[in-house]
Structure 1
Amino acid sequence: MAYDLFLFDLDDTLLDFKESERRCFAAVLQSLGVRDRLDELYHQYQIENRRLWALFEEAKTSKEHLKVERFRRIFENFGIEIDPHKASDHYLEALPETVVLMDHAEEICKWLAERGEIGIITNGMHAVQIKRIENSKLAPYISFTSVSEECGYAKPDIRFFEHSAKMAKKFHKESAVVIGDRMETDILGAQNFGLRSCWFNPEKTKHNFSFKADYEISHLSEIQSLLKR
């Protein structure tokens, strides 16, 4: 199968969001006077953030509520008297400046851009995601970026994929492939929209979903040999 449109998830697929988030979270809290229990706070932040994003993906909460609520919850749990709105604002300002690439991300994007069009499909905040791409070394290779906040729908909603398809220079389902690390958003969304998919699974995690990806890789560099076959 020959592909000419490569639809990449962004966080934890091309950008190491976990590491970026960890560094940014610690720096922001330290700037607000928090010095102790940073690892505990970050662990709890991850839990609350995942819960809220799951609600957002199910259209059960808003993006504006999510931004602040994740900080309000951890501050309340740890008895920290900091305005969660202030923490959220500082965090969203700092996050785009804290960019860490996944291994081989720049190399594979350069290689694919010579063979077709690269689009980013991401659930996130538009201004933050656009700035993070600009601050990475990937921007020259990316044709367009589709963000859930701008679209109004989030992966795996089929309407998000319809929106993304319209942003491509040319779009044919049979020559497009989705590459992402989350089965429940990237791979399911691709399947629902009738696209082939590649699950980026660096930790070689087992899953029990009723659906599966067309391909599976544990290193981005494997995309080259996979597409050459």
Structure 2
Amino acid sequence: MYQWIIFDADDTLFHFDNFAGLVHMMAKYGVEFTERDFNDYQSINKPLWVEYQNQAITAEQLQTRRFQTWADKLSVSAQQLNHDFLQSMAEICQALPGAKELVDYLESQKVNMAIITNGFTQLQKTRLERTGFHRYFSPVVISEQLGIAKPNRKIFDHTLTLMDNPDRSKVLMVGDTLASDILGGINAELDTCWINHHNDVHPEHIIPTYQARSLLELKNILESVL
């Protein structure tokens, strides 16, 4: 049924633990980063991500503004802190349970695989190389490089062009975030699968084609439709 599957990266294929990454990074500066520090960071970081996905700010603005408070405290540039954070995230990265089994299965079924991520180039490229997942996915489209983020249809149209414009009914978008991955796939007229890790309820205006609580469950779904 599907000739192509487009995946999100963070918390879809790879474990993405902001807090652990920040603890790992701040330890290099001799800082014991606490949950309270993390909550303060997220109060800045989360609204910036919404602005970025709405194209109100650039990737560079997001990356620097989220670390400006700590940059002032540590007398280090926000750019350097962002670089160190992304490096720390790459160092602690792990594929989610079932990810390797899923991509091996799809490869055996001759299903093409791509990635569209709103994450940043430094982390995504390093992580794909370190985990060995780079060989499975082409194209890998990173919003920072294109200047357009999910759920904007344009990033999907660009990716589909790189995929030689397959029949959209033969393409499935898989992701864990309703507001970017699933809404974006719907905007691009693709079938979607929501990786619903926490058994949440989707709003009425964002209805995925499929839901799976894990990549193993997604593999079971795909085995029944491919």
Question: In the alignment, what sits opposite 2:29?
Answer: 32
Is 2:186 aligned against 1:191? yes
CA distance in 2, matches of 1:58, 1:114: 38
Contact 1:130 1:145 in 2 (8 A): no
Hey, what does 2:93 align to over in structure 1? 99
Q: Distance in 1 between matches of 2:154 and 2:160?
A: 10
Q: RMSD of aligned C-alpha atoms?
A: 1.8
**Pairing 1:34-183 to 2, within 5 Å after superposition:** 34-35=31-32, 37-73=33-69, 75=70, 80-83=73-76, 84-115=78-109, 116-168=111-163, 171-183=166-178
Q: Which amino acid aligns with 2:104?
A: K
- Give the distance between the partners of 1:111 and 1:201, measured in 2 at CA: 21
**1:60, 1:121 → 2: CA distance?**
20
In the superposition, relative to structure 1, how do residues 225 and 27 fare at CA in structure 2: closer, same or farther (>3 Å)? closer
More moved, 178-187 vs 162-171: 162-171
The aligned residue for residue 220 of structure 1 is: 215
Alpha-carbon contact 2:178-2:194 (below 8 Å) kept: yes
Amino acid at match of 1:80: K
Q: Within 2, Cα distance between the matches of 1:143 and 1:180?
A: 17
Q: Distance in 1 between matches of 2:166 and 2:91?
A: 32
Show the counterpart of 1:8.
7
How many residues of Structure 1 are paired with residues of Structure 2 in the alignment? 222
After superposing the two structures, state which structure 1 stretch, 91-100 or 118-127, moved more.
91-100
Determine the structure 1 residue equivalent to 2:16.
Answer: 17
1:202 aligns with 2:201: no
Q: Per the alignment, in what secondary structure is the counterpart of residue 193 of structure 2?
A: strand
Cα separation, 1, equivalents of 2:80 and 2:147 = 25
Spell out, residue by residue over 1:175-229, the C-alpha distance to the aligned partner (whole angstroms, 9 max, x if none). Answer: 0000001111111111111100000001101232412000000011112321233
CA distance in 2, matches of 1:56, 1:82: 26
In structure 1, stretches of 5+ residues that fail to align are none
* Contact map agreement 1:200 1:217 (CA 8 A) in 2: yes
Alignment deviations for residues 54-112 of structure 1 (CA, whole Å, 9 cap, x no partner): 10111111111111111114x38xx8344233322322333322211111011101111
SS of 1:7's partner is strand
The alignment-based identity, stated in percent, is 26
**C-alpha distance in structure 1 between counterparts of 2:20 and 2:10, whole Å:** 15
Deviation at 1:169, TM superposition (A): 5.2
How far apart, in 2, do the equivalents of 1:3 and 1:225 lie?
14
- For the residues of structure 2 that align with 1:150 and 1:113, how far apart are their CA atoms? 27
CA 1:169 to 1:109, structure 2 compared with 1: closer, same or farther past 3 Å?
farther
Specify the code of the residue in structure 2 equivalent to 1:102: L
